[in-house]
Amino acid sequence: MELLTIGHSNYEIRTFVSLLQKHGVTAVVDVRSSPYSRFLPHFNRAALKEALATEKILYVFLGQELGARPKKQECYVKGKAVYEKIAATEEFHEGIQRVLKGVKKHKVSLMCAEKDPLTCHRAILVCQHLRRFDLQINHILRNGELESHDHLEQRMLKKHGFTDFSEMAEEQAQLSLFTQKSSNLSSREECLDIAYKIQGDEIAYVEKKGDDHDQANQPVHDWIHPKERSEIL
């Protein structure tokens, strides 16, 4: 089964919908903690849901389950969100299970804001855990092409100084106990675990002074709607 992701970036709604349609998406799962955009109101939750419905694309909000800015204070260390702690919550587990249920019935695309999936929690947090299941994960890029999650991981490894593990390179590395950089690591997976942690720490949300995750203390585009339970996923 295939799972897609997309970042709405600064697209016009028509461009955004066209990208979804190009790849046959029938359901969008919004993983933004705050389903609003101050400067792009067509990506506000209600407006987006209506626009997608016009094109017969379902919309599901899972920002409370799979968002990168949870309300639980135990997910933060010194005011910074920690992806490992978010992933350990019951809400996150529930969100993952709903996505897995959804891909059995729909062509699903996760949606967040960032253009490059490498800088977005949809790839570095959510897909890090979804990759463990029998899914082919691809990211829809601005030019309409797809980047496989495997390729994204290669970019991430390279960014953080690890060997570029092609299949051949990995096999050779296993025989030679890797390069000096990673000689103490037993597998590509261990390198990836470290790279995911570094990248997650780079992009994780940091609380602003006085931010208590209360709706009243956040700007309009950061508000989180009351949860609307969807039976789609």
How far is 56 from 63, CA to CA, in rounded Å?
Answer: 22
Predicted pLDDT of residue 187: 84
Going by DSSP bridges, is the β-strand pair 58-61/76-77 parallel, antiparallel, or unpaired? unpaired
Q: Is the pLDDT of residue 197 over 70?
A: yes
Average pLDDT of the chain is 86
What is the pTM (predicted TM-score) of this model? 0.83
User: What is the CATH code for 2-153?
Assistant: 3.40.1010
How far is 67 from 35, CA to CA, in rounded Å?
Answer: 10
Please give the residue that has the higher pLDDT: either 1 or 208.
Answer: 1
Cα dihedral value 47, 127, 232, 65, nearest 10: -80
Q: What is the pLDDT of residues 27-50, one digit of tens each?
A: 999 999 999 999 999 999 999 999
Predicted pLDDT of residue 169: 47
Please give the residue that has the higher pLDDT: either 172 or 146.
Answer: 146
Residues 157/149, Cβ–Cβ less than 8 Å: no
User: Tokens at residue 12, please?
Assistant: 């016009």
Q: What is the pLDDT of residues 65-122, one digit of tens each?
A: 999 999 999 999 999 999 999 999 999 999 999 999 999 999 999 999 999 999 999 9
Please give the residue that has the higher pLDDT: either 40 or 174.
Answer: 40
Give the SS3 label for residue 180. Answer: helix
Residues 18/151, Cβ–Cβ less than 8 Å: no
